[in-house]
Amino acid sequence: MDQLITLLVIQTSAAIISFAAGALVVAVVIYLMATSSKEEDKVSVKHKVYKLRGRYFFAIVLCAIILLFITLRLLPYPEFQNKADEVVTVVGMQWAWQMAPGVFNKNISKFSGNNEIDVPVNKNIKFVVTSMDVNHNFAIYNSQGHLITQTQAMPQYHNELQYTFSELGDYHILCLEYCGLAHAFMIGTIHVK
Amino acid sequence: MIQLEPGEIKKQRKLVIIWSVTFLVVFPVLITLGLLMRLRQGEDIKIGMDTFYALMTMHGLGMAGTLFSIAFAALWYLIATRHANLNLGVGYLVYFLNIIGGGGLFFATLIGRFGAGWYLLYPLPFKGANWPTWTTLITIISLIILGVAWLIGILHLIYRIAKEYGGFTNLLGWQYLGKKEVQKELPPIVLITTISLVPGVIAFLAGAVWMIIYLLKYFEPTLAFDPLLLKNLGFFFGHTLVNITLYCCVGWVYALLPEFTGRKWKTDKVLVYAWNATFFFILFAYFHHLYMDFVQPLPFQYAGQIASYLSAVPSTAITMFGVIVQLYHSKIKWGIIPLTFLIGIAGWAIGGFSAVVDSTIAVNTVLHNTLWVPAHFHTYMLTGVVLFILGFLFYMSHSKEEQERDKTGKLGFWLFVIGAHSFIAMFYMGGLKSIPRRYSDYSGIPISSTHSTGALLAQIAVVFIGLLLIGLTIMYFSILKKLFRRVANATGTVVSA
């Protein structure tokens, strides 16, 4: 499945599950309040509720195991990545992004790049992301404003993020880790051609 | 249950009232800082970026610290008046150190404009900062003072209850797991206090190491430290602090709710298993803050998601079903105190579920550091922890009959609940729209829909903050009116003076 569609499905599922869980909690609260005027012996209540609790326990453990099994296969980490078609080095700094094609193995202070870069469509791009000063977060947004992927830009470390752009156009990079005064204005652009 | 002289109870009550009044003063000030931030993001007011981030830093540090502090104070009072003799001098020492530490943070942020965020992510406090360097030092020292205060308080409390209940393992309830008959019943509040506060000791020690490293860095700037290690230490400290604040509050729900339902809530084998499991989940769940650090060892990433998922099992299966047992067909009179506890438990559950959703690594890829994050923690802090605290304050100020009759308090309560949930809903919508968190304003974002949606949601949120503040003011009126007219009787509950 296209990476963007997968992410949108994940985001929508997260919203639906959270809303459904919230609605269930509200329903239980209303039910409890509405029925609390009745009186019943605690032993009998305990018996009923504990029976339900047993079922709930197995259901929630089963759900957790199934969800863990499904979601722990969808990890963005290097151990789960494929061979990249192209590599882009990304360096965050207060308060700009610098990007250049290829791997940069020298001292990071000597890196020179641009806050815009061209990458090809439908190619697996590996972003090697680091920082020259403090922590930043390399977050890619599409033109509709969807956050499509991200990784931290951390000094002394290189995080490898892979993404295949399936649509042509301009994608914007925002910083999603607070990095000081102009954090909200640390912008870059990826031109997918 | 210990028997205290009325005079001793009165002294402990005085301490907790002083602490509570301090909370009642500080809390709306911290809300106001948040209000100013949302006003700025909504482009309703103009404040400088440096001011915005100083407000943000104080709002985060202040709320986390203040809520833990009052949660601890309430636990202290309930333990001291019912289960173990606690030294009043130690209590006052913890309180005054809290005042000094908190005052230092106010000074560094609101006067000095220190703005590295609550989590002081290394090496931001030392690099490219636009605040005076002395503010960094004041912040570090203030945090050390707070950490020392909490460590002293916790260690004293754990020591005294361990002495009372025959040793540390008894506090964990392990005597319930064997075949021997339990000699001395362990109240759930004592078990939960232990399970909450012992991870707190470990976290505060980690926090101490974190802050000592910062002190070294401050005095010797050429020293370099590992940013990933410091990120782990910082989040372990911060996450655990917030997490145990919630559990401390849950502790007194176990103790106080039965007073209104007339149904005892006792420790049993299932409760012991559940809370002992929670002990481990508290320690390992923090890894979910580092999912976007791809260089973090993979087993830690797995541990973060597994611990976060499984933490939902004991909390919902045991505590929430326990609340159902307490309330179902209980013929309870819905006074303000049980109301705050029930709606607080609901807030905890709703926030907890959305936190578990975000603790899924695949989901975190699209929600990390968007407004979804403040959404879920505001849910369980503002509509969970704060309601429990307000419930405790009503408990301290109102008799059972008064809290049933208090229509003004209930009006304030519902305005607060509606305002708070609606305010938080704007955060959730922002998260689903990928709006970044910790932005002084959205005008720099080149995607017009993101900019306009972010600003609009902030504008709407401001209205609901107004509503929750009105509700809070009404509740304050109701609490303060009665708080000083009461003295304690021999069982620690209040009677008319």
Q: What is the DSSP string of B308-339?
A: HHHTHHHIIIIIIHHHHHHHTTB-----HHHH
* CA distances, B9 to each of B13, B17, B301 (Å): 6, 12, 47
Considering only CB atoms, B309 lies closest to which of A22, A68, A154, namely: A68
Structure tokens at A45: 């209540």
Distance from CA of B136 to the nearest CA of A (A): 14
Confidence band for B26, pLDDT divided at 50, 70 and 90: very high
Query: Does some domain include residue A127?
Result: yes
In a domain, A78, yes or no: no
Which of B127, B226, B439 is closest, CB to CB, to A133? Answer: B127
Mean pLDDT value of segment A47-74? 91
Whether residue B489 has pLDDT greater than 60: no
Quick one: average pLDDT of B464-483? Answer: 95
pLDDT at A4 over 80: no
CB B79 within 8 A of CB B189: yes
Enumerate the residues of chain A whose CB falls inside 8 A of the CB of residue B328: 32, 35-36, 40, 45, 48-49
In a domain? residue A81: no
pLDDT for res B161 = 95
Say yes or no: A100 and A9 in one domain.
no
- The mean predicted confidence, pLDDT, of chain B is 93
B495 pLDDT above the threshold of 50: no
Among chain B residues, CA nearest to A142: B447
Q: What is the pLDDT of residues A13-36, one digit of tens each?
A: 888 999 999 999 999 999 999 999
Q: Do A164 and A138 lie in a common domain? A: yes
For residue A109, give the CATH number of its domain. Answer: 2.60.40.420
A36 & A100 share domain? no
- Residue of A74, A152, A158, A190 best to disrupt the B interface, most CBs of B under 10 A: A152
Q: Which of A38, A72, A106 is the last residue of a domain?
A: A72
Q: What is the pLDDT of residue B496?
A: 37
| A31 inside domain | yes
Residue A166 covered by a domain: yes
Domain termination residue (choose one: A72, A101, A127): A72
Say if A79 falls within a structural domain.
Answer: no
Q: What percent of chain B has pLDDT over 90?
A: 88
| A77: in domain | no
A90 and A179 co-located in one domain = yes
Domain count, chain A: 2
Query: Quick one: pLDDT at residue B339?
Result: 96
State how beta strands A188-192 and A116-119 pair: parallel
Residue A93 lies in a domain: yes
Q: What pLDDT is recorded for position B133?
A: 94
Give me the residue from B292, B316, B436 closest to A60, CB to CB: B316
Q: Work out the burial of residue B219: count CB atoms within 10 Å of its CB; fewer than 13 is exposed, 13-18 middle, 19 or more buried.
A: exposed
- Cβ contact, residue pair A36, B332, below 8 Å: yes
> Do A93 and A67 share a structural domain?
no
A50 and A96 belong to one structural domain: no
- Same domain? For A95 and A166 the reply is yes
- pTM for this predicted structure: 0.94
Handedness of CA B318, B324, B330, B331 (dihedral sign): positive
| CB-CB neighbors (< 8 A) of B440 in chain A | 183-184
End-to-end CA distance of chain A: 21
Per-residue confidence (pLDDT) for residue B349, from 0 to 100: 92
From chain B, the residues in CB contact with A38 under 8 A are 329, 331
Tell me if B357 and A18 make a contact (CB, 8 A cut-off). yes
Distance from C-alpha of A130 to C-alpha of B294, rounded to nearest angstrom = 11
Per-residue pLDDT at A1 = 57
Domain shared by A10 and A104, yes or no = no
Mean pLDDT of A118-132: 96
Statement to judge: residues A114 and A178 lie in one domain: yes
* Residues of A with Cβ-Cβ distance to B324 under 8 angstroms: 28, 32, 49
Q: What is the mean pLDDT of chain A?
A: 93
Q: State whether A150 and B342 contact (CB < 8 Å).
A: no
Asked if B75 and B193 count as a contact pair (C-beta separation under 8 A), the reply is: yes
The answer to whether the Cβ–Cβ distance between B346 and A25 falls below 8 Å is yes
**Whether A91 and A168 share a structural domain:** yes
Residue A74 pLDDT > 90:
no
How far apart, in whole angstroms, are the C-alpha atoms of residue B382 and residue B249?
A: 13
Domain co-membership, A7 together with A29:
yes
Range of the domain at A127: 86-192
User: Are A102 and A35 in the same domain?
Assistant: no
Can you tell me the distance from the alpha carbon of A177 to that of B123, in angstroms, rounded to the nearest whole number? 13
